[in-house]
Structure formats: C-alpha cells, structure tokens
Amino acid sequence: MAYTANVLRVMIASPSDITEARDAVEAAIHGWNDANAEGKKTILQPWRYETSSVPTLGDHPQALINSQGVDRSDIVFALFGSRLGSPTPEAISGTVEEIQRSRGQNKPVHIYFSAAPHPNDVDPEQLAGLREFKEEISQLGIFGEFNNPSQITHEVWRAIEYDIQQLSLAVPVIESSPNGVRFRAQPQQERELRDYDKKGKPRYKTRRWIDVTNIGDLDAEQVTFESVGDQPRMHVMTGESPTTIHAGQTRRVPTDYSLGGSGEDILRIRWVEDDEAKEKDFHVG
C-alpha cells in the first residue's frame, strides 16, 4: 500500500581502502528502511560516488562529487581505515574535503575510524596523516571506532535515530493537485549496440534524451525546447515546430553532447498557457 514519506539522502564517504565498511553502511541503511520507513514516514537514500555519481566533464572530480553528492545530501557517514586519502586542490584528501564541506553546510556528520590491525603494506605517510587528522577531529567532537564491518550496523542505526530526532521532520502530506502547466525534466540515457569491429568485438554508443512531463492539470500549447547558457555542451535534437504536451503526458526530447562545451546543461522550455507565453529553465546536468 502506498504511503507518503520524507526522503533523506545519506552520503557514504571514505578513502578507497575500506570497501567492506562502505558496503556495511549501505546495507545498514537498507535494513533501517525495511524496519522503519513506513512507521516513521522516512526513507533513507544511500549515496556513494562509485555507484551514484554521474560521469561528466567540466571540473575537478572532487568538485563534481561535492556538487552531486555532498551538497544534495542530508546526512554524511565518513569512514577511515589505514589511509587518509588522496589530496585535492582544496584539502588534504577528498574525504576530508567532503567532511569539511558538510560541516560548513551544517549537515550531521558521523566519523568512524577502524580499530582493526593495519595491513602489512600500509603506507607510512598515509597512516601518519590519518593519525594527525584523527587527533584534529578529537578536538572538534566525538568520533566512533569499529573493529570489523559487522559492528557498523548498530552504529548507523543509532546515528540515524539521533539525526531524525534532531531534524524534527514534519509529517509528510500528499500535495493537492497542481493548477496549470507544471513541467518535470529528467535526463535519461541507455547504451545500445552500434556495430562490430573487424575482430567481432561489439562497439556501443550511448543514446541520451530528456523526458519532459507535464505534471499539471492544463495542456501546454506551442511547446518548444532549446539548450541555453554560455558555451553549452548539450544540444537539443528536436525540430523547430512547436508541439502540444497534454496534462499528464511525457515527451521525449533527444539530446547530443559536444566535448568543446564547458557550460551547464540547461534546458529551456517555452510554452503558451491560457494565451500567455511562459518559459522555464531546467538544470539537467
């Protein structure tokens, strides 16, 4: 049976040496959802850069992770094993930058250090940097420790319960039916077989488009689409003739991308509603 719920995005941050611990945090989040989502009207959405980030160009990789992950998350779990991580232009490591950025945005940040024995091939410089950072964190608040990934489930559940209580989330309600034209733009892509090379190896291409849905209760007349912005890399591949998008209808808008562009991916939709010309921009990058 359907129910309304608040959705909280939970970012899992760490260097690359503790994959099992990252998996354990994600499993704990899913387990919390199974046990509590409907009763507490709250759903947790885990975010990990290796599975949730969208491949794109235009900035340093850490800056893209920040915009896609950190800035859109509500809660952050940061884990450390025997490495501090690789430096970025802004911080001593990517994970440290994510922690600092989250703290600057007043998000709940939970930091855990592994207490398990370090591997024999541990990098002395990484370990020294980690110990220095751990000492710094001890002056800023309370951190947790774990001996193995199986201990993490309890820690994650305890932290989530604390955060939900502190956030004082309002009881979600079903919104009333919207009036007029309201658009939703969702970028989509799929990989399809193009042909085979001389050795019989398949070659693929990626087809991209934007699903534009009129979620309002009025038809949108004379609808047109265009890519806007300074040096856009996205190009809209539709004809110039205006179209109509009825209430509840979705229109597929094909797109293509050029490597030379450096701007944001912005789709501008123009339409006529009750004899009035309107337009709205959607960031779809």
Q: Which amino acid is at 273?
A: E
Asked whether residue 103 falls in the same domain as residue 224, the answer is no
CB atoms near residue 70 (< 10 Å): 23
- Percentage of the chain exceeding pLDDT 90: 67
For residues 128 and 243, membership in a common domain is answered with no
Looking at 167, 191, 225, the residue that finishes a domain is 167
What is the greatest pairwise CA distance in the chain? Answer: 73
The alpha carbon dihedral of 244, 248, 254, 255 has a sign of positive
One DSSP character per residue, 44-63 reads: EEEE-HHHHPPP--SS-HHH
Residues 43, 148 within the same domain: yes
3-class SS shares of the chain: helix, strand, coil, % to 5: 30, 35, 40
Q: Does residue 228 lie in a domain region?
A: yes
What CATH number should be reported for the domain holding residue 161? 3.40.50
Q: Give the burial string for 107-117 (b: 16+ CB within 10 Å, else e).
A: bbbbbbbbeee
Pick from 80, 92, 90: which is nearest to 12 by CA?
Answer: 80
Q: What is the pLDDT of residue 105?
A: 94
Q: How many Cα atoms occupy the beta-carbon half-sphere of 42 within 13 Å?
A: 21
Same-domain status, 52 and 17: yes
pLDDT digits (tens, 9 = 90+) for 193-224: 777 777 778 887 888 899 999 998 899 999 99
First to last CA, the chain: 34
**In a shared domain, residues 32 and 150:** yes
pLDDT band at 46 (very low <50, low <70, confident <90, very high): very high
Q: 3-state DSSP call for residue 137?
A: helix
Residue 146 lies in a domain: yes
Q: Positive or negative CA dihedral for 159, 161, 166, 168?
A: positive
- Contact of 237 with 255, CB cutoff 8 Å: yes
Under DSSP, the state recorded for 11 is E
Pair 94, 230 in one domain: no
Q: Tell me which DSSP letter residue 125 carries.
A: H
Question: Using CA atoms, how far apart are residues 117 and 148, in angstroms rounded to an integer?
Answer: 10
17 and 142 housed in the same domain:
yes
The total domain count for the chain is 2
71 & 203 share domain: no
The structure's pTM equals 0.61
For residue 10, tell me if it sits in a domain: yes
Do residues 127 and 38 both lie within one domain?
Answer: yes
Model pLDDT for residues 15-26, shown as the tens digit of each residue: 999 999 999 999
What is the distance of C-alpha 175 from the center of its chain?
24
Mean pLDDT of 36-40: 92
Half-sphere exposure of residue 115, counting CA atoms within 13 Å on the CB side?
A: 9
Confidence of residue 171 (pLDDT cuts 50, 70, 90): confident
By residue range, what is the domain housing residue 272? 183-283
Q: What CATH number corresponds to the domain at position 256?
A: 2.60.40.1230
How do residues 216-234 score in pLDDT, each as one tens digit?
Answer: 889 999 999 988 877 778 8
2: DSSP letter: -
